[in-house]
Amino acid sequence: VLFSVGFYGIGMYWPETLPAKGVTVPIPLGASDAQSITSLARSGVLPYPRLFHLAWALAGRPAMQAGLYEFRGSVNQEQVLHRLIAGQSTPLNLLIVPGWRLQDVVREIRDSAPYLNRRDLPQEEGVATRLAHLGIGAEGSAEGWLFPDSYRYVPGTTALSVLRRAYVRMQHELQALWAGRAPGLPLHDPYQALILASIVQKEGAPPAEQAHIAAVFLNRLRHGMPLQSDPTVIYALGGRYAGLLTAQEMRVDSPYNTYLHAGLPPTPIAMPGFTSLMAVLHPADSTDLYFIAQGDEYHYSESYAQHLKQIRRYLQHAGGAVQ
């Protein structure tokens, strides 16, 4: 009631509406009500900020919410205050895509999230280690620890706080899946599951194939065979990778090169999505040790002899992936 009375009492002193076409006003997290009114006035939304402030005071000084506010066409001054009190702002979301590396997330923040506070965000170089020191990640690295999803925020939110939410979400999902995992997996802890899920994710297979691909990798671990996954070599090369692996690059000396080293790499190589995590912890019932892919077609083999036949049959031209 006070809200309406306040505007009714002074409404005669200003125009009922104000043309405000295409005006976008960010009200950052932590801004005072006075600062919010000043921002609206400077953007041309409030023609008489002192009268607006008086109306707000007569309404009981209700709190204004942080957010990105867009005003188009004629805007009623009472509606302006109502929107800020109700927090009716434009949604802002940070999207983390399955298969992204940590450097991709940092680049997305820097290039496509201008309303996030990036002051304490480390640079891309060494970011995985430094974020781990800030409590985002485990085992000395933040790589792989951000759960792919869309994360809502308002202007002024720190990038680190959003990344912490993604990290906590990954911890929750991983622990829940690990608790209900299939029996007999050759994995010692949830972190190993996260590492393998990142490899399955980066293989780029459709969701329907991921459980079978996970089974192949798990079977190789059981037999002490190298995983021989191209994405791990690409991760090892980093910025040196030009889009096509050469014979020399396949021999890169790195603990991430799963052609040279048996077992899992030291850390995840990307952010695995829920489907990849599920595939690793609930793999297909299979004894296969090899697979080949050509387009969307996947073919699996239990022996190397069968695998060679598949290669001759299905990889007669370039573009197939071999495991």
User: Strand 150-153 and strand 297-301: pairing?
Assistant: unpaired
Distance (Å) of CA 215 to CA 5, 107, 180, 230, 260: 68, 33, 17, 17, 21
Query: pLDDT at position 20, please?
Result: 55
Candidates 144, 64, 60; CA nearest to 99 is 144
Residues 6+ apart with CB under 8 A from 79: none
Query: pLDDT at position 73, please?
Result: 81
Candidates 243, 225, 223, 224; CA nearest to 233 is 243
Query: pLDDT at position 7, please?
Result: 52
Query: pLDDT at position 318, please?
Result: 47
* DSSP H or E run through 94: strand 92-95
Locate 12 and state its tokens: 């005669």
Q: How far apart are CA 290 and CA 306, in angstroms?
A: 9
Torsion sign across C-alpha atoms 110, 115, 118, 119: positive
Helix ranges (DSSP H) in the chain: 2-10, 33-42, 49-58, 77-86, 102-112, 127-133, 159-179, 190-202, 207-223, 230-237, 274-281, 304-314
pLDDT in tens, 150-209: 999 999 999 999 999 999 999 999 999 999 999 999 999 999 999 999 999 999 999 999
pTM listed for this prediction: 0.89
* HSE-CB of 77 using CA atoms within 13 angstroms: 28
Q: According to the 3-state scheme, what is the secondary structure of 191-235?
A: HHHHHHHHHHHHCCCCHHHHHHHHHHHHHHHHHCCCCCCHHHHHH
- Compute the residue count for the chain: 323
In this structure, are residues 289 and 222 in contact, taking their beta carbons and an 8 Å threshold? no
Q: How far apart are CA 69 and CA 79, in angstroms?
A: 12
Query: pLDDT at position 152, please?
Result: 97
Which parts of the chain sit beneath pLDDT 70? 1-21, 315-323
Q: How far apart are CA 112 and CA 130, in angstroms?
A: 22
